[in-house]
Amino acid sequence: QVQLQESGPGLVKPSQTLSLTCTVSGGSISSGSYYWSWIRQPAGKGLEWIGRIYTSGSTNYNPSLKSRVTISVDTSKNQFSLKLSSVTAADTAVYYCARVFSRVGATGGGHFDYWGQGTLVTVSS
């Protein structure tokens, strides 16, 4: 059973960089043809996709965040990470990491089949 766990600071100052890591257990991050994603959810609001990475290092980002986002992967540690720069209060949210599964014959980029429990990041001075 694949499990994902987010970790990182719960408080970040405005204009600084938010950094989070997702540790994958129960399977190798490199096995299978999976993308790995970050998704966020402000309190009381909906879900927003941030970006995804393949184990080769290939990335795609939400255009609305692209200029501030970097996602990387460390296959030796079975982890992938998120960096979001120049944060403001609008970036305060619960951040989730998730695995993307695209089945044979599917149309589109697949679905999120495993999720981390989420971690709250507050941007405040």
Partner 1 sequence: QSVLTQPPSVSGAPGQRVTISCTGSSSNIGAGYDVHWYQQLPGTAPKLLIYGNSNRPSGVPDRFSGSKSGTSASLAITGLQAEDEADYYCQSYDSSLSGLYVFGTGTKVTVL
Binding track over 85-114 against partner 1, x by CB under 8 A: -----------x----x-x--xxxx-xxx-
Residue count at the site for partner 1 (CB under 8 A)? 24
| Pair type for strands 18-25 and 3-7 | antiparallel
Contact between 25 and 80 (Cβ < 8 Å): no
| Pair type for strands 11-12 and 119-123 | parallel
| Pair type for strands 59-61 and 119-123 | unpaired
Distance in Å, CB of 111 to partner 1, minimum: 4
Distance in Å, CB of 46 to partner 1, minimum: 5
Return the residue of 10, 31, 46, 88 that touches partner 1, per CB under 8 A. Answer: 46
Instruction: Map the footprint of partner 1 across residues 2-31, applying CB under 8 A.
Output: none
Distance CA 37, CA 20 (A): 12
Quick one: 13 or 66, whose CB is closer to partner 1? 66
Return the residue of 21, 62, 78, 85 that touches partner 1, per CB under 8 A. Answer: 62
Residues 6+ apart with CB under 8 A from 83: 17, 18, 19, 69, 70, 71, 72
- Binding region for partner 1 (CB under 8 A): 37, 46-49, 52, 60, 62-64, 96, 101, 103, 106-109, 111-113, 115-118
